Amino acid sequence: MAVRLQASGLVESLMSEAEVVVVNTCSVTAEADREARAYIRRAHRLNPSARIVVTGCYAQRAPEELAVLEGVAAVVGNSHKAFAPEIALSLAANSTSEPSIVPLHSLVNSGTQIWADDSFAHSFLERAQVVPGVDPGSQTRPNLKIQEGCGNRCTFCVIPQTRGHSRSLSEESVLKQVRGFVETGGNELVFSGINLGRWGRDLEAKPTLAALVRAILAETSLPRLRLSSIEPMDWDAELIALFRDFAPTRLARHAHLPLQSGSDAVLRRMHRRYRPWHYVEKVAALVAVCGDELTLGADVMIGFPGETDAEFAETYEMIRALPFGYLHLFPFSPRPGTRAWDMHRQAPVPPKVVDERMKALRELAREKTRAHRRAMLGRTLDAITLHTPTELAARNKTTALTQNFLPVEIEGSIEANRLVCVCAEEFAEDFALRAVVK
Ligand code: SF4
């Protein structure tokens, strides 16, 4: 959106001075909704004359809820996100341009215009060329979103409603993006998607993600590719074999498999497509190819409706037994319109119990992270330098990320986006590793 608005002649400015403010929202939890509303209110308070355009998942899920907030001039759901830049442009002061698509409806009192339906005919995947960020704060290792939407129906998840069915960026477009990224000096690219492992299923020839990755690593000179979250059952033998052929230098030894729960009964209630033993098998296959250098990550949901002490204990034990390098822990958040919303009404887990379980897993996650990183001390690992925070740079240090997703602090000052080999020597703060360049 930013690239397209800049190409139309708009310039970025402070929120307090901007004519138009675009707010891209998340709606994955009730907390995300609350933060989005608070942000919009703050934007209006700081700059009452700004015309606010709200887009993203919350705008798709409940457009009227956002349209009534003061200062909001337009609500553009994900279904019409491709039009968000031209809608924003039309709202700039002295603009004579009109969006090429009429709003689906307007609020009677405020005139706020709404574009959102469930066809997703006007949502889009990345069109602007992805480049390595050169400014401090920008992404040295950007994401290239190659897949959007999801056809699964996990009972807790609002994403299929807010992002629609699964769609893939064509192989040709992915290759073009990767070549463009390499030409602009990019060194590490992250493939992302809402359900990345489903990439290609909607395309005519039904190519697989593994075949796409193999083609990219064979046909381009991309120095390093990282795969973001992939559902457990999509880690098939073809995909896992890529680590044997391209890791660690060109394919990062990093696998994120959402777990959510280690209890078979809870996974069934969640409508997840795997059982705990499937998950264990996939991890074993990954470790067999990557060794202990693999950094394994997972999302875990705590307090799903009806989660008993025994079911939580199964999750805890499973996590304890597997070689996780990090965990993303989330308390269950009931989302309107999902099946788990009703389950939560019938069998909520008390907040105090959720807090206790979160605390126990947080401690376990810290132990796992520390143990995994301790095992890396003394090893030489490929890494990429990042934009170093000012305070650390003042101490003559550089931040970097190893191919296997470990944050490191390097002695000395090195500019961002350099590929280096580091040897981790000791722990710094927050379990980051102190390393020297080899
Ligand atoms: S696979 Fe992921 S995005 Fe799809 S419904 Fe389940 S949790 Fe949501």
Sequence spans of domains, the chain: 2-115, 143-374, 380-437
Distance 174 CA to ligand 1 centre (A): 23
Distance 157 CA to ligand 1 centre (A): 6
Distance 330 CA to ligand 1 centre (A): 15
Ligand 1 atom showing the smallest separation from residue 260 Cα: 7
Q: Specify the CATH superfamily of domain 143-374.
A: tm_1862 like domain (3.80.30.20)
Which residue CA neighbors atom 8 of ligand 1 most closely? 157
Distance 6 CA to ligand 1 centre (A): 34
Q: If you write DSSP's letter for every residue of 140-170 in order, what string do you get?
A: SS-EEEEEE------TT--HHHHH-S-EE--
pTM of the predicted structure, to 2 decimals: 0.92
Contacts of 106 (CB under 8 A, 6+ apart): 112, 113, 114
The ligand 1 site (C-beta within 6 Å) comprises 150, 152, 154, 157, 159-160, 194-195, 231
What is the pLDDT, as a whole number, of residue 125? 60
CA dist 377 and 370 (Å) reads 11
Which residue CA neighbors atom 2 of ligand 1 most closely? 195
* Structural domain 2-115, CATH architecture: 3-Layer(aba) Sandwich (3.40)
Ligand 1 atom showing the smallest separation from residue 160 Cα: 5
Contacts of 408 (CB under 8 A, 6+ apart): 383, 399, 400, 401, 402, 422, 424, 432, 433, 434, 435
Out of 60, 154, 192, mutate this one to test ligand 1's pocket (max ligand atoms within 8 Å of CB): namely 154
Nearest Cα to 335, choosing from 91, 154, 66, 171? 154
| Tokens matching residue 224 | 């390093």
Distance 231 CA to ligand 1 centre (A): 9
Q: Which CATH number fits domain 380-437: 3.30.980, 1.10.287, 2.40.50, 3.40.109?
A: 2.40.50
349, 350, 359, 366, 433 from 355: Cα distances, Å: 10, 9, 6, 16, 30
Query: For residues 106 and 88, is the Cβ–Cβ distance under 8 A?
Result: no
What is the pLDDT, as a whole number, of residue 108? 65
Sign of the dihedral defined by the CA atoms of residues 32, 37, 40, 42, in that order: negative
CA dist 234 and 184 (Å) reads 32
Query: For residues 177 and 131, is the Cβ–Cβ distance under 8 A?
Result: no
What is the pLDDT, as a whole number, of residue 136? 77
Over the chain (438 residues), what is each successive 10-residue block's mean pLDDT? 86 94 95 97 97 96 95 94 91 81 74 88 71 83 94 95 93 96 96 97 96 97 98 98 96 98 98 98 98 98 98 98 98 96 98 98 97 95 95 94 96 95 88 89
Contacts of 260 (CB under 8 A, 6+ apart): 154, 266, 267, 270, 272, 299, 300, 301, 304
Out of 29, 145, 195, mutate this one to test ligand 1's pocket (max ligand atoms within 8 Å of CB): namely 195
